[in-house]
Amino acid sequence: MRQFIIFLGFAALAACSNAPDTTATEQNAKALVEAVYAGFAAGDMDRVTGAMAADIVWNEAEGNPYADNNPYVGPETVLTGLLARLGGEWDGFAAVPQEYVSEGGRVIVFGRYGGTYKASGKSMDAPFVHSWTVVDGKITAFQQYTDTAEHAAVMAQ
């Protein structure tokens, strides 16, 4: 009986050592998303798009003026269809993260948008929640939640 118990102990230990390390996955996913926000802040779009999977699906919040092309599929489409528009239409546009919550390959970020819309001269200060999905070290999906009425009001002329 004693040998059987010892064997079960080794079997349990072996099973645990082969289990995926969800803590490492969460840390890696969070670090990747943090690097994307750092890339946004630095204006380093190569860093931003380099973190994306080739088939990323990016969705702006329903009602957001930039949701007109949802979903943005692929890094080049995100860059030219969305990020270039933001860079060209806003002075000082920023997405500033305040809190990260991660579980497995999902990272939720709470933060605030800021910037001045060039055409109207109006400034924005609006909350956001971003949901990022990371698979195999690449961002595969993005979903934005924000005060779309604030965006529209600032962009109205």
- For residue 75, with 0-12 CB atoms within 10 Å meaning exposed, 13-18 middle and 19 or more buried, which class applies? buried
**What's the structural domain count of the chain?**
1
Starting at the edge strand found earlier in the chain, the sheet holding 72-73 runs: 72-73, 52-59, 138-146, 123-135, 106-117, 90-103
Residue 75: inside a domain, yes or no? yes
What type of residue sits at position 24?
Answer: A
Residue 136: inside a domain, yes or no? yes
Residue 53: inside a domain, yes or no? yes
Residue 2: inside a domain, yes or no? no
Residue 113: inside a domain, yes or no? yes
Please report, for the domain that includes residue 93, its CATH number: 3.10.450.50
- Distance between CA atoms of residues 106 and 35, nearest Å: 15
Residue 8: inside a domain, yes or no? no
Q: Structural domain of residue 131, as residue ranges?
A: 21-155
How confident is the prediction along the chain (157 residues), in pLDDT tens digits per residue? 444 333 334 344 344 444 445 566 778 999 999 999 999 999 999 999 999 999 999 999 999 999 999 999 999 999 999 999 999 999 999 999 999 999 999 999 999 999 999 999 999 999 999 999 999 999 999 999 999 999 999 999 8
* pTM of the predicted model as reported, rounded to 2 decimal places: 0.84
What type of residue sits at position 56?
Answer: I
Residue 47: inside a domain, yes or no? yes
Write 8-16 long-range contacts (CB < 8 A, 24+).
Answer: none
